[in-house]
Chains A and B, each alone.
Chain A
Amino acid sequence: MQADPVFQLFEQVEFILIAGIVIVLAYLALEHKEIVYAAFFFGFMASIVAGFFLLLEAPFIAGMQIAVYTGGISALIIFGVLLLPRAQDSSLETFPSGRKRKIGLLLSGFVAAISATLALLFPWAESFDEIVVDMSQDLGALAEWLWVENSIYVQMIAIIMITSLIGAVALLKMDKAEQMGSIQGEFGIEAEVEIEDEPEPEPESVDEEPEPEATEEEDA
């Protein structure tokens, strides 16, 4: 089927279309003035990147890409935009000096050039003979690779992920608790001690007044 020239031409045209759409959407996600639209463009880009995985005969990864990137990560980014209204400030998109922008452009070009050099010029690139291998569609073999042969790495990554998520929740809770002033004591906030000292003088002046009234009643 892959030797059919019409099929090959169709595949290449499909690749060029997907590549063009992905690059334009990635550019818009970075350069569009409205951050909400930029987040949506990122979601569209992530779903169209799944087209590359379908072309590469990896439909399981394409499904995971759509579920996690489009459904999860872009939704998280949109939540971030909603929770941070200051992010919608369009003045953040302007640059105080063109020099920083030029340096950033040069550095990003340098990163792309270095990664291209590493991938294309290193000796291990010669081991890829441009011979297409049938991509494994066996989910059982994939599960065996993950959970039998490399389960230690899966467990390590699971521990790192759960630690980062628990750390994130703890950071948010700590920050909120500090703002509410509920953490007190020896390891609490120093400012709390100053606030506690201030209201002490008020009850002394209130308690002094009723004493003479009580003595008058006793005399009567």
Chain B
Amino acid sequence: MVPLSWYLVVAFILIGLGAYGMMVKRNLIRILIGAEIMGNGVNIALVAFALYSPTFNLTAQGLIILVISVAAAHTALALVLMLMYNRRYDTVDLGRPVDREVA
């Protein structure tokens, strides 16, 4: 049997990697990938908790169905925002408009 803590360690590593991608990267698509990796880490933690809790069993499965559906919708919205950002600033570099204003 795989202990609960093993799943949580993997989930936290994925959450940390996703946070790294969202905070450090300048490319908008890379930032979106980081957000999705964080979401995957959260899903793993939720299902792992569900396997170790009798009361949380169906709740976690229902929550994850909702979370995955919302993730698809927010990815589509993020893609549209990226397209608008690209039209307005002629770049997908998140730090560049700020650099221009400072310069």
Contacts and interface: CB of A to CB of B under 8 A. Distances in A.
A193 interface: no
Contacts of B27: 35, 87, 92-93
Contacts of A53: 44, 47
A55 interface: yes
A111 B35 CA distance: 13
A157 B69 contact: yes
Contacts of B1: 2, 8, 11, 132
Given A100-B24, A101-B24, A29 B37 contact: yes
A127 B32 CA distance: 35
Q: Is the interface of A mostly helix, strand, loop or mixed?
A: helix
A30 B52 contact: no
Contacts of A95: 24
A139 to B, nearest CB: 10
A193 B88 CA distance: 22
A165 B1 CA distance: 42
Contacts of A120: 5, 8
B87 interface: yes
Interface in A71-86: 72-73, 76-77, 79-81, 83-84, 86
Interface string B72-103: 11111101111110110011110000000000
Contacts of B51: 56-58, 132-133, 135
B53 A127 contact: yes
A19 B48 CA distance: 14
Contacts of B7: 52, 56
B37 A30 contact: yes
B31 to A, nearest CB: 10
B93 A61 contact: no
B53 A26 contact: no
Contacts of B48: 56
A30 B76 contact: no
A189 interface: no
Interface string A112-123: 100110011000
A38 B52 contact: no
A108 B17 CA distance: 7
Contacts of A60: 61
Given A84-B86, A136-B57, 7 more contacts: A26-B18, A38-B29, A49-B43, A83-B79, A92-B27, A92-B93, A128-B49
Interface of B: 1-8, 10, 12-30, 32-34, 36-37, 40, 43-45, 47-54, 57-59, 61-62, 64-66, 68-77, 79-84, 86-87, 90-93
5 nearest A-B residue pairs (beta carbon) = A112-B16, A104-B24, A108-B20, A108-B19, A104-B23
